[in-house]
Structure 1
């Protein structure tokens, strides 16, 4: 399915995280768009329609990797990159991966708090204005993911570069694939040399990857790469966006500071309120159906904007209002259905601990008007280039 109508709107509409793009608002829950790759797709912005796509088997994520299927950006490097959890399941590794990502036995609470404190203390020591993206969001996300993965902290500069490059849209296919090969080969080497007694996903899953259903070393390295990239970018994006919003809301920071138990409501509302997805969750329709009043055909590419779904006024009254007391708050930041993000607990836990530490810095506020904050262009995970602040 290639584009034949140049008048179709081009998606994504924006990679700024300060507000939902105007084109994502409105009453049309399913609309036709053109992707970065020049293919036609159905963009889903309505909340019930998004839940249906992410829940029903007729909309398959794994089929995006099929030869000839329409794509968002560049062709997928390897099929396990799109269906990492399914590959872990077939190899008997999924439950252990979920345990390590959900119970977080290798990520002590005090270490997370200390990392956030150290970053903020360094920022204050260097003097105003500070940068919360660098000294807070990335400072917390990087070490947290290295600890979860069981990777040396010294690897972080290279891992961060590979992750940032992988999630940059509009790069040549060859550059994207070459970048991923470097990340995969690095993780392959780490897996081959790791000490099974060291905590973390890399040594644990490598030790367990045995038997007739075992993944090949390259497959396992690819899956581990997906976990690191998704975990690091989601955390750095969320914490950066949350810091941007809270620096504009002194009342919210004061509430967290005086009542730390309130932080969970703020985390949930920030997960809904923040615009964090530069592209969309892609699925292939494997059985023609009707969705949102539109007729979808077998083989159609379907793109779900969870950002737009989180602003659907039928589900979230006054969606533009920031309301940490919002109950219920069934946002779709982590997806829905069988592919619900296994790192949801990680983001929630890290977010709550880090934002509690951030709120201790009294007088925190943006150093520039909100519209002057710069955002990384063309990113799949929307992230501020910097969050300049005063205190």
Structure 2
């Protein structure tokens, strides 16, 4: 069978494809590349939630590929990271980083996030076309996570480039090379921080490594790379997707412009509507299981389509409609279970601050091109815009009809 997600139209709008697959069967086999092997794609909400918390689905990527004779040369720091591990290793690693992303810790960061946001928006000319992705969605989360990790300002542009290359679709050599570049960089940064310590998250992890927390050097580098990449990649897509959703729904945009206090309560619906992570990271069955009525043999990959699950009408009525009053608890954009995104509070804080600033400073902002002209990133793992051209109108447009 052909993989419907390879259709060029899928990148622009995957949801009709997901809906068709879900209505046929919420869990079904799809080809994996040109190898003739199969994976199982999960598009139903209940099935996705079950898969994300089922201990029979392992994330130990290294164990899965150990006997596959893979020609890939991904750096061990990425091949053996926290997201690619199971308990008890995962439990130990997650505990070390969770304290850096609590609601209280993130609240202390809000003034810095607001300062960075304002500085970026200061560079937007009024009444002209601006790329919201390049001008805000990319640099804001990069600056924030680099600040948290103590990455020098001069290195941040290159770090962001390596991160983008790690998500390049169908370019394994580029991905592998980027993995070595970013891991080698973080190894060097860790060495430099040992000589001249600071108070960043990375410094705290180094202290754990050099203290009594039994963190190996490989685990230290792996955590540093993961925080650097995951700490901004998802947020970049979230900001772009959320802005586009509002620009395509002027009544909802006007509501938030007029009542910015409603923005925090709207963040989860914006996440559900167009998830910044399209497919959850790698999982495979350690034994035969039945999921959504489909029998899945042992030892095969299971791909959980978070974006599809968030549009399942059995869980979210009229799922293709953006409804800021919707009850969205349980959406899967940040995952579910023990692997739920540890950086969720930070991502939502950045989105809250960014949307407030944009709507305050450019209340008449609108798309500069038609939606079908937008360029989406060529990857199935994350869903995000390569660019988002907008017109920076500084006066509010007439209110849309009720």
Output the TM-score relative to the length of structure 2. Answer: 0.86
For each residue in 1:246-303, what CA deviation from the matched residue of structure 2 results, as whole angstroms up to 9, or x when unmatched? 2223322322222222112221111000143354432111121211111111112111
Q: CA RMSD in A?
A: 2.8
Choose 72-81 or 335-344, whichever is displaced more. 72-81
Asked whether the equivalents of residues 240 and 387 of structure 1 are also in contact (C-alpha less than 8 Å), the reply is yes
> Counterpart of 1:42?
40
> Counterpart of 2:375?
374
Asked whether the equivalents of residues 18 and 274 of structure 1 are also in contact (C-alpha less than 8 Å), the reply is no
Question: Higher helix proportion, which one?
Answer: 2
Shift of 1:47: 0.5
Asked whether the equivalents of residues 231 and 343 of structure 2 are also in contact (C-alpha less than 8 Å), the reply is yes
> Counterpart of 1:22?
16
Asked whether the equivalents of residues 51 and 336 of structure 1 are also in contact (C-alpha less than 8 Å), the reply is yes
Question: Matches of 2:84 and 2:108 in 1, distance apart?
Answer: 22
Shift of 1:49: 0.5
Output the TM-score relative to the length of structure 1. Answer: 0.89
Question: Matches of 1:332 and 1:72 in 2, distance apart?
Answer: 31
Instruction: Indicate how the Cα distance of structure 1 residues 43 and 86 shifts in structure 2: closer, same or farther if over 3 A, else same.
Output: closer
For each residue in 1:325-351, what CA deviation from the matched residue of structure 2 results, as whole angstroms up to 9, or x when unmatched? 101432100111111111111111111
Question: Matches of 1:299 and 1:92 in 2, distance apart?
Answer: 25
> Counterpart of 1:224?
224
SS in 2 for 1:303: strand
Instruction: Indicate how the Cα distance of structure 1 residues 63 and 378 shifts in structure 2: closer, same or farther if over 3 A, else same.
Output: closer
Question: Matches of 2:57 and 2:140 in 1, distance apart?
Answer: 35
Instruction: Indicate how the Cα distance of structure 1 residues 313 and 263 shifts in structure 2: closer, same or farther if over 3 A, else same.
Output: same
Question: Matches of 1:224 and 1:254 in 2, distance apart?
Answer: 40
Question: Matches of 2:73 and 2:4 in 1, distance apart?
Answer: 18
Shift of 1:216: 3.4
The number of residue pairs the alignment matches comes to 383
Question: Matches of 1:69 and 1:306 in 2, distance apart?
Answer: 29
Choose 233-242 or 206-215, whichever is displaced more. 206-215
Shift of 1:64: 6.0
Choose 240-249 or 302-311, whichever is displaced more. 240-249
SS in 2 for 1:368: coil
> Counterpart of 2:239?
239
Instruction: Indicate how the Cα distance of structure 1 residues 182 and 41 shifts in structure 2: closer, same or farther if over 3 A, else same.
Output: same
> Counterpart of 2:60?
62
Shift of 1:123: 1.2
Choose 326-335 or 36-45, whichever is displaced more. 36-45
Which consecutive residues of structure 2, in runs of 5 or more, have no partner in the other structure? 394-402
Question: Matches of 2:251 and 2:68 in 1, distance apart?
Answer: 46
Question: Matches of 1:129 and 1:386 in 2, distance apart?
Answer: 12
Shift of 1:219: 3.2
SS in 1 for 2:283: strand
> Counterpart of 1:3?
none
Shift of 1:11: 4.2
Question: Matches of 1:15 and 1:150 in 2, distance apart?
Answer: 40
SS in 2 for 1:192: helix
For the pair 1:31 / 2:31, whether they are aligned, the reply is: no
What does 1:152-163 correspond to in 2, within 5 Å? 152-163=152-163
